[in-house]
Each structure stands twice: as structure tokens, then as C-alpha cells.
Amino acid sequence: MYINIHTHKVDERDDVKCIVNLPSDVKEIPDEGRFSVGVHPWDVDHLVHAKLSDICRLLQERNVVAIGEIGLDQLSENGYEHQEAVFETQIKMANLLQKPIIIHCVKASNEIVRYKGMMSVPAVIHGFRGKPQLADQLCRAGYFISFGNKFNEESLIQTPTNRLFLETDDDEEADIKEIYERVAALRNCSVEELKNEIEKNFESIMG
């Protein structure tokens, strides 16, 4: 099975399992599939309280398997202080409902490392493109790291197998199977091995 830990579109192939991220203002969850919901840092605006209460309700649904993407983005125009409060609220929701967290982090790695202490559930840094030193710091803090279509090769190679995920995110060109092939070649293993290891990681975060 190919695991796509973070995407914005449904993949109906039988050998692909994905977590489809729904928009921050989602009102209802589709019947079929696995989803993540959460208030993205870009969507922290004057409607955020209404969004958070919807997210809290939707998170309790069976096929909402994770909260996300949530996090911090220093390049976003939204007030950064406000982002932190919204992030903290959603970490508490995740802890309460024991669902893993999918994190969006831009230029806020030190803060994200610090927040790990507040989480009692597994958390994945999605779309990681940073340098090896940062990858190492995040792994040590206890995070899983997910790589998409574009990444730093050294970071990918040094990430321990038991901390690794792959994803397509919103990249229309990306195919999860093709990403597995590229990553297996770089890490010097077979696609089968990679699939098995990542599936184990998936099972571990899904509890």
C-alpha cells in the first residue's frame, strides 16, 4: 500500500491510502475516505471562532483521522500572535480526541519544536524542504517528517525510516507512486521496503 499522508484531492486507486485535507471552513465530511480538518494559519481571520467550533465538532467524526493542516507561518499576513493562540487551541483538541496532527510550518521551526512538549499525540511536519540540521532537530523533538515532490535530498536521506512519510500535498503534477520511486532510489532501498516501513509508521500514528 502506498500511503499519501497529506493531499488535497481524493485518490481512488486501490493501492493508495491517503489523508485528504479539507478546507478550513468545511461544514460537512464526505462519507467515504480519510480526512484531516483544521484551521490553516492562512485562514486565521475574523471568522476563526466559528471555524474552530466547526472543526471541534467535525473532528469527532469517524473518518476524520487527523487534525490539519495547522501550525505557524511567519510569511502569512495574518497576525502571528493570533496564529499561536489558534494553533494551541487545536493542539488541545487533538490531545483531547487523541488524533494525530499534520503541521504546516513556515519560518517558525524553533516555535514548532517548542510546541511538541504540549502534544500528547503523534505529529507530522508536512511538506518539509528544510536542511538536514533542521530535519534532525525536528526528529529529535519527536516529530515525523513528510516529504513531497520537492525536497532537500540530504534531509531525505538522513531521516530515520521510522520518522518518514511521503505526500503529494496540492501539487497537481505529483504522483505519490512516482515520489516513492524517487525516494527509494535515493535511500538505496526497494519501493516494497519503503512501502512496508511507511505503512508501519501510518499504523503507529493511527493508533
Residues that bind Zn ion (CB under 5 A): 169
Expressed in angstroms, the distance from the first to the final Cα of the chain is 18
Of residues 167 and 183, the one with the C-beta less far from Zn ion: 167
> At closest approach, how far in Å is the CB of 193 from Zn ion?
27
Of residues 48 and 102, the one with the C-beta less far from Zn ion: 102
8: nearest Cα among 145, 171, 202: 171
Of residues 36 and 155, the one with the C-beta less far from Zn ion: 36
> At closest approach, how far in Å is the CB of 41 from Zn ion?
12
Q: What is the largest CA-CA distance in the chain?
A: 48
> At closest approach, how far in Å is the CB of 64 from Zn ion?
16
Of residues 122 and 148, the one with the C-beta less far from Zn ion: 148
- Taking the C-alpha atoms of residue 205 and residue 96, their distance in angstroms, rounded to an integer, is 15
User: Is residue 184 a contact partner of residue 169, using CB atoms and an 8 Å limit?
Assistant: no
> At closest approach, how far in Å is the CB of 188 from Zn ion?
29
| ∠ Cα 108 111 113 (to 5°) | 110
User: Is residue 179 a contact partner of residue 149, using CB atoms and an 8 Å limit?
Assistant: yes
Q: Residue 40 has which C-alpha cell?
A: 490553516
